[in-house]
C-alpha cells in the first residue's frame, strides 16, 4: 500500500501543505486527490460528489476545468512555444466564448513575469522560468484547486520564493491550493500543514 | 468543435514528427516504397491494358483476320503445295456465301514498297488489291471520291483509292492520275485518315492505311504479275453480331471450314482479335495479382515500420502524454493524437510515393519503351492504401498511448 489509510477534508480557499519524509506518500496523496491516480480502496469526494464514480471523460473534464497542476519538474511540450504551452488546456476542453484565450494567456505570462517570453521555446528558458510557465498554464482555466507537487523542488531560493508568492496570491483570490513539499521555507506559506508519517500510519495536522 | 480538436491534434502530430525528422522520414520510406511500387505497377499495367485494347480496337473486336501462311507451311515440305495452294479467291467466295447476311468478307493481295509518284513527287507505299467487300469489312471511310466497286473488279478497271498521307505528299485529288511504279492509275477516291493496323505481337502483317494505295484485286495482279491470280494474301471478315460467344463460335467454324478446304494443311493463320482481348484480360488479371501482392507486402512492411516508430515515439513521449492527460486530455484525444501521427507518417509516404511512382513509370516508359497510363483508379487506390495502412498500424500504438495512467506516465523517466 503506497499510502496509509487517512481521512482528510480540505476546505475552500485553503492553502494545505502536505509534508512528510520521502516515501511517506505525499505525491500519491496528491495524485489520488487530483484524479491522476485511482485509489485501490476508499473514496475521493469533491463538493459531495465521489470522483471514483466518475467516468474517464468526466474526470478528464474535471482536470481540465477545475484543477491546475504544478509538478516538481516543469513539464512543458518542447515543440510548442511558451504561449502555446499556456494555451494547451484550452485545446482539451470547451473554448470559453467570452474569453480571448491568447490574450488571457499572455496576461498570465505577464503575471508570472514572462510577458516577453511568449514566442520562445521551453529549451531556451531556465528552470525557474519554465516552472513559472507551468504556473501560468495551471491558472489558464481559472481552476478551483491547484495541486502543486514539490513545486520548488528543482528551483533556487529566489525562484522558489516567486512561485510560493504566486501560489499564496491564488489562495487570497479564493483558489484552494494543495501542495506537497518538504521545503521548510515553502511550508510556512500554508494555512494548514498535514504531516504524513507512513511508519506510524498517522496524520498529524497543525494550523500555521 | 470536433474540427478544432482534429486540427489541433493534426498540428500537434506534425510538430511531434518534425522533432525527429530523420526517424519520421525513414519510417515513411517503407510506405513510400510500397506506394511507389503500387503506382508504377498500376500505371504499367494500365498502359499494357490500354495498348492491348487499342490494338484490339484497331483490329476490330467483331472481326476475324486470316492471312496466307503458305510460305511457312511449305518450307521444307514442298509436297504440301500440291495439296493446298494457300488462301485463294475461292475461299473468300465460299466464306462470303456461307456467312450470308451475318457479315462481310473482304479479300486482298498486297505488294510492299511500291513507289507511287506524280509530277516529280514520290512516296513508297503498300499497294492492296481488294475485293469489293473489303471496304465494308475493313470499315474504312472515304475522305473524298468513291471506293473500288464490283464493276471495277469485273472490268479490271485501272482505278485506285489512295491513303490520305499519299495524296498529301503527292498533292493530288480524285480525278487525277498517279503512277504505281511505271503504271498509271486513275485516282477515284481518298481514304479518311485511319492510321495503322496495330498488329504487333499478333502475327499479322502491319498495314498503314494512310500510306496505302488500293486497287481492284485483279487490276493489281495485272500490273504486278508473278503470282497465281487466284491466290490471296489475306481475308478480313467482319461480323454483324458483336456478341462475344457468337464471334468465337463463327471463328471456330471458319477455322474448321478452311481446314477442310485446305485438306488439313494449315497454310493460313486465323487471328480472332476478341481472343486477344481475352488473353489480354487474363494477362492483366495475373499481372494485377502479382503487382497487388508485391505492393501489399511493401505496404505491410511499411506499416510495421510505422508501428515500430510510433511505439518508439510513445515510449519517448510518455511524460508528455501524462502532461496532456493532466491538463484535461481524455483517452480518446490521446488516441486521436497518435492516430494523426501515424496517418501523417503514412500519408507523407503516400504522397512522395505517388510522385516517385509517377516518375518511375515515366522513366520506364522512356527507357524500357513500355506503355504506361495513369488511371484515376490508381491515383485513388495508392493514397487510400497508405491511409488504411496508417490507420490499421496506428491503432495499436494509439490504444497503448491512451491506456497509460497519467500519474505513472508523469513519473516516467
Q: Judge whether B396 and B307 are in contact, CB under 8 Å.
A: yes
Question: The C-alpha cell of A165 is what?
Answer: 508568492
Question: Which of B158, B172, B175 is CA-nearest to residue B117?
Answer: B172
The mean pLDDT value for B261-270 works out to 86
Question: Mean pLDDT of all residues in chain B?
Answer: 86
Rounded Cα distance between B372 and B366, Å, is 10
- Give B353 to chain A, closest Cα distance, Å: 27
The mean pLDDT value for A70-91 works out to 92
Q: Judge whether B110 and B233 are in contact, CB under 8 Å.
A: yes
Lowest mean pLDDT among A7-11, A123-127, B271-275, B303-307: B271-275
Q: Judge whether A112 and A80 are in contact, CB under 8 Å.
A: no
Which residue(s) pair with B109 in the sheet? B129
Given B16, B319, B405, which is nearest A79 (Cβ)?
B16
- A residues 14-33 closer than 8 Å to B (CB): 31
Q: Does residue A8 lie in a domain region?
A: no
pLDDT tens, residue by residue, B337-351: 999 999 998 988 989
What dihedral angle (degrees, nearest 10) is formed by the CA atoms of B299, B305, B309, B311? 90
pLDDT tens, residue by residue, B278-336: 777 787 778 778 877 888 888 888 889 889 989 999 999 999 999 999 999 999 999 99
Q: What percent of chain B has pLDDT over 70?
A: 95
User: Per CB distance under 8 Å, which residues of B are interface residues toward A?
Assistant: 1, 4-5, 8, 12, 15-16, 18-19, 319-320, 322-333, 405-408, 410
**Sign of the CA dihedral A182, A185, A186, A191?**
positive
pLDDT tens, residue by residue, A140-172: 988 999 999 988 887 788 888 888 988 999 999
Q: Label residue A199 by pLDDT band (50, 70, 90).
A: very low
Question: Mean pLDDT of all residues in chain A?
Answer: 87
Lowest mean pLDDT among A137-146, B69-78, B257-266: B69-78
The mean pLDDT value for B354-370 works out to 88
Partner B contacted by A144 (CB < 8 A): no
Rounded Cα distance between A66 and A34, Å, is 10
**Would you state the pLDDT for residue B124?**
93
Q: Does residue A68 lie in a domain region?
A: yes
- Give A89 to chain B, closest Cα distance, Å: 5
Given A56, A89, A93, which is nearest B331 (Cβ)?
A56
For the beta carbon of residue A172, count every other beta carbon within 10 angstroms: 10
Q: Judge whether A160 and A180 are in contact, CB under 8 Å.
A: no
Please report how many Cα atoms fall inside a 13 Å half-sphere around the Cα of residue A70, on the Cβ side: 33
Question: The C-alpha cell of B365 is what?
Answer: 516508359
Query: Contacts of residue A93 in chain B, CB cutoff 8 Å?
Result: 328
Given A31, A60, A80, which is nearest B328 (Cβ)?
A60
Whole domain around residue A36: which residue ranges? 15-207
pLDDT tens, residue by residue, A41-65: 888 999 889 988 899 999 999 999 9
User: Closest residue of B to A61, CA-based?
Assistant: B328
The mean pLDDT value for B104-128 works out to 90
Query: Contacts of residue A91 in chain B, CB cutoff 8 Å?
Result: 4-5, 8
ipTM value for the complex: 0.90
Rounded Cα distance between B24 and A140, Å, is 33
Query: Contacts of residue B406 in chain A, CB cutoff 8 Å?
Result: 36-37
Q: Which CATH number goes with the domain that contains A141?
A: 3.40.50.300
What dihedral angle (degrees, nearest 10) is formed by the CA atoms of A28, A34, A37, A38? 110
Q: Does residue A131 lie in a domain region?
A: yes
**How many structural domains is chain A composed of?**
1
Amino acid at each position: 500500500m503506497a499510502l496509509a489509510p487517512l481521512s482528510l477534508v480540505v476546505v475552500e480557499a485553503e492553502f494545505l501543505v502536505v509534508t512528510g519524509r520521502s516515501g511517506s506518500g505525499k505525491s500519491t496523496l496528491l495524485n489520488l486527490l487530483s484524479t491522476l491516480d485511482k485509489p485501490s480502496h476508499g473514496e475521493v469526494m469533491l463538493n459531495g460528489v465521489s470522483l471514483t464514480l466518475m467516468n474517464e471523460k468526466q474526470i478528464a473534464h474535471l482536470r481540465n476545468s477545475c484543477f491546475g497542476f504544478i509538478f516538481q519538474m516543469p513539464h512543458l511540450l518542447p515543440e510548442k512555444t511558451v504561449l502555446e504551452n499556456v494555451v494547451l488546456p484550452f485545446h482539451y476542453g470547451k473554448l470559453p466564448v467570452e474569453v480571448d484565450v491568447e490574450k488571457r494567456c499572455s496576461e498570465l505570462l505577464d503575471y508570472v513575469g514572462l510577458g516577453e517570453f511568449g514566442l520562445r521555446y521551453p529549451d531556451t528558458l531556465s528552470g525557474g522560468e519554465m516552472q513559472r510557465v507551468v504556473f501560468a498554464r495551471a491558472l489558464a482555466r481559472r481552476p478551483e484547486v491547484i495541486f502543486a507537487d514539490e513545486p520548488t523542488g528543482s528551483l533556487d531560493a529566489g525562484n522558489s520564493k516567486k512561485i510560493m508568492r504566486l501560489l499564496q496570491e491564488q489562495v487570497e483570490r479564493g483558489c484552494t491550493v494543495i501542495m506537497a513539499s518538504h521545503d521548510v521555507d515553502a511550508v510556512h506559506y500554508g494555512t494548514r500543514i498535514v504531516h504524513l508519517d507512513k511508519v506510524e500510519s498517522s496524520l498529524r495536522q497543525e494550523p500555521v | 468543435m470536433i474540427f478544432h480538436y482534429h486540427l489541433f491534434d493534426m498540428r500537434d502530430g506534425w510538430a511531434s514528427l518534425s522533432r525527429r525528422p530523420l526517424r519520421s522520414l525513414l519510417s515513411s520510406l517503407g510506405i513510400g516504397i510500397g506506394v511507389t511500387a503500387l503506382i508504377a505497377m498500376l500505371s504499367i499495367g494500365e498502359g499494357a491494358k490500354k495498348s492491348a485494347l487499342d490494338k484490339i480496337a484497331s483490329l476490330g473486336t467483331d472481326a476475324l483476320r486470316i492471312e496466307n501462311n503458305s510460305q511457312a507451311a511449305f518450307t521444307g515440305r514442298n509436297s504440301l503445295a500440291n495439296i493446298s495452294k494457300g488462301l485463294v479467291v475461292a475461299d473468300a467466295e465460299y466464306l462470303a456465301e456461307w456467312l450470308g447476311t451475318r457479315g462481310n468478307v473482304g479479300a486482298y493481295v498486297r505488294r510492299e514498297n511500291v513507289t507511287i509518284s506524280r509530277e516529280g513527287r514520290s512516296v513508297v507505299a503498300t499497294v492492296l488489291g481488294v475485293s469489293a467487300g473489303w471496304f465494308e469489312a475493313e470499315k474504312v471511310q472515304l475522305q473524298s471520291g468513291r471506293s473500288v466497286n464490283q464493276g471495277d473488279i469485273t472490268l479490271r478497271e485501272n482505278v485506285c483509292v489512295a491513303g490520305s498521307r499519299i495524296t498529301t505528299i503527292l498533292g493530288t485529288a480524285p480525278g487525277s492520275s498517279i503512277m504505281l511504279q511505271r503504271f498509271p492509275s486513275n485516282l477515284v477516291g481518298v481514304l479518311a485518315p485511319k492510321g495503322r493496323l496495330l498488329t504487333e505481337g499478333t502475327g499479322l502483317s502491319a498495314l498503314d492505311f494512310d500510306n496505302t494505295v488500293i486497287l481492284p484485286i485483279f487490276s493489281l495482279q495485272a500490273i504486278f504479275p508473278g503470282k497465281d491470280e487466284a491466290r490471296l494474301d489475306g481475308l478480313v471478315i467482319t461480323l454483324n453480331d458483336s456478341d462475344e460467344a457468337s464471334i468465337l463460335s463463327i471463328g471456330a467454324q471458319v477455322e474448321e471450314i478452311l481446314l477442310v478446304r485446305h485438306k488439313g494443311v494449315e497454310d493460313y493463320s486465323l487471328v480472332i482479335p476478341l481472343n486477344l482481348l481475352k488473353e489480354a484480360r487474363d494477362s492483366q488479371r495475373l499481372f494485377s495479382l502479382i503487382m497487388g501482392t508485391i505492393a501489399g507486402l511493401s505496404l505491410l512492411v511499411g506499416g510495421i515500420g510505422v508501428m515500430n516508430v510510433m511505439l518508439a515515439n510513445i515510449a519517448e513521449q510518455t511524460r508528455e502524454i501524462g502532461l496532456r492527460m493532466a491538463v484535461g486530455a481524455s483517452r480518446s484525444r490521446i488516441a486521436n493524437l497518435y492516430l494523426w501521427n501515424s496517418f501523417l507518417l503514412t500519408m507523407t509516404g503516400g504522397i512522395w510515393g505517388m510522385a516517385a511512382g509517377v516518375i518511375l513509370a515515366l522513366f520506364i516508359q522512356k527507357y524500357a519503351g513500355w506503355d504506361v497510363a495513369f488511371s484515376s483508379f490508381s491515383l485513388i487506390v495508392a493514397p487510400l492504401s497508405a491511409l488504411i495502412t496508417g490507420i490499421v498500424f496506428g491503432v495499436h500504438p494509439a490504444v497503448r498511448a491512451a491506456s497509460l495512467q497519467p500519474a505513472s506516465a508523469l513519473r516516467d523517466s
